[in-house]
Structure 1
Amino acid sequence: MRVRVPLAAGAAGKAILAHLPDSILEALPLSKYTDRTPLNRTEIRKGLELVRERGWALGDGERIPDGYGVAVPYFAENSVAGSITATIPRHRADELSLETLTAQLSAIAGAVTQLLSA
């Protein structure tokens, strides 16, 4: 089964979009998936800057109504190639240690980057 993942909504897509040229965001059609889906390009751009700074993306009900996701990008030959994502039910988000999860996802993404760039 093939699933289309929007780049501007949800952790998985935002982790990738943050490392693509700004022209990609400008050309993307923005679709509303939930009441939390970001539709303002200026706000999305600010969020992508934060993703680049901290190294991971967060999605809180943006694509999946009761989903909460954290994603880290991986790279191949110095270009973003995808993301590693953990998604949980939103009601469990308070139980989550973002510091621990992002560290573990970053380690996995680093290993994938190394494999793809060898």
Structure 2
Amino acid sequence: MKAIEQDDINDNETNSQTFIRSLARGLSVLEVFGNRMDGLSSSEIAGAAGLDRATTRRILLTLQKAKYIRQIDDRYYLTAQILNFGYGYLSSLPFWELARPIMQELVAEIHESSSAAVLESGEVVYVARVRSNSRMVDVARTVGSRVPAYCTSLGHVLLAGLPEQERNDVLSEITFKKYTENTITNKKQLSKALDNVAQQGWAISEQQLEIGLCSIAVPLHDSKGKVIAALNVSVQTPRVSTDTLINKLLPALKLTAAEIDRAARARAE
């Protein structure tokens, strides 16, 4: 997760009398845990959150009292209570309640895994995932996982669906990293790719994030036609060719997305 920057905290505090600095610092501490299964020491947390040790200690004691973290020896771990926030977000979106069973039908038909994701701060955040039981090897993505938007099919669909100014704002904040030889590494190249995605209505990523991983994605819309999420199918190469991905899996993916969109419109009526 991306921790709240202290510069942001100071700016917001200056510009708003209602900004609660201590709350922002507490959220920063929670965010630095990310996907760490081995816990963090207080000094590691302080460094990652940009806080002094005394402030970090007070926040950790507060979070322990509230049962959001626990301490084992000299390391701190998130507790299951933190899931209340994630489940609260997902349960507030009946869209995913509609999407999951439809995604399950797609996976049963094509025997490949499928995911749905939203865009947040230049990253793709997985909000639903259905894995294929027929595959022994699968991409280790779970609900809540984050990956860069600029080198994924989900990300390209989501970025392409943004209004022009908003898209430019997001692109200006990206720090490009070359994950593979196929990774897009500059804004001009990405902008051109996104224009193509917006025109054709789908995106494909061929081993841009990981060697051996290809995916294809399409947009999901709200009742007003706005792109609010993306749906993909991911496969391992060379087991599935690019031609198969486009000519056989993409049509099924489009039909699934259309069904999810119809369900979303019906729910909104």
Do Structure 1 and Structure 2 share a fold, with TM-score over 0.5? yes
- TM superposition score category, shorter chain reference: 0.7 to 0.9
Per the alignment, residue 42 of structure 1 pairs with 188
Q: Over aligned residue pairs, what C-alpha RMSD do you find?
A: 1.8
Query: How is 1:1-118 mapped onto 2 (pairs within 5 angstroms)?
Result: 1=142, 2-20=144-162, 21-22=166-167, 23-76=169-222, 77-91=224-238, 92-94=240-242, 96=244, 98-117=246-265, 118=268
Return the offset for 1:46.
Answer: 0.7
What is the identity, as a one-letter code, of the residue corresponding to 2:180? T
Q: Identity rate of aligned residues, in percent?
A: 23
Partner of 2:36: none
Contact 2:220/2:227 (8 A) holds in 1: yes
* Whole-angstrom distance in 2 between the partners of 1:42 and 1:95: 27
Give 5+ residue unaligned stretches, structure 2: 1-141
**1:97: how far off?**
5.0
Q: Which has the higher relative contact order, 1 or 2, with Cα contacts under 8 A spaced 6 or more apart?
A: 1
User: Is contact 2:216–2:245 with CA below 8 Å preserved after alignment?
Assistant: no
Q: CA distance change for structure 1 residues 5 and 113 in 2, over 3 Å: closer, same or farther?
A: farther
| TM-score computed with the length of structure 2 as normaliser | 0.41
Q: Give the deviation of 1:75 after TM superposition.
A: 1.2
Cα distance in 2 between the residues matched to 1:52 and 1:95: 21
* Distance (whole Å) between structure 2 residues aligned to residue 4 and residue 32 of structure 1: 17
After TM superposition, give the deviation of residue 74 of structure 1 in Å. Answer: 0.6
Q: Deviations over 1:56-98 (max 9, x none)?
A: 1000111121111111111113322211111111212156151
* Contact 1:16 1:73 (C-alpha < 8 Å) held by counterparts: yes
Unpaired runs of at least 5, structure 1: none
Q: In structure 1, how many angstroms separate the alpha carbons of the residues matched to 2:175 and 2:264?
A: 30
Equivalents in 1 of 2:178, 2:245: separation in Å? 29
Secondary structure at the aligned position of 1:106 is classed as helix
The aligned amino acid for 1:112 is: I
- Larger Cα Rg: Structure 1 or Structure 2? 2
Q: Which has the higher mean CA deviation after the structures are superposed, 28-37 or 58-67? A: 28-37
Contact 1:68 1:93 in 2 (8 A): no
CA change 1:64–1:109 in 2 (3 A) is same
Paired with 1:60 and 1:101, the residues of 2 have a C-alpha distance of 15
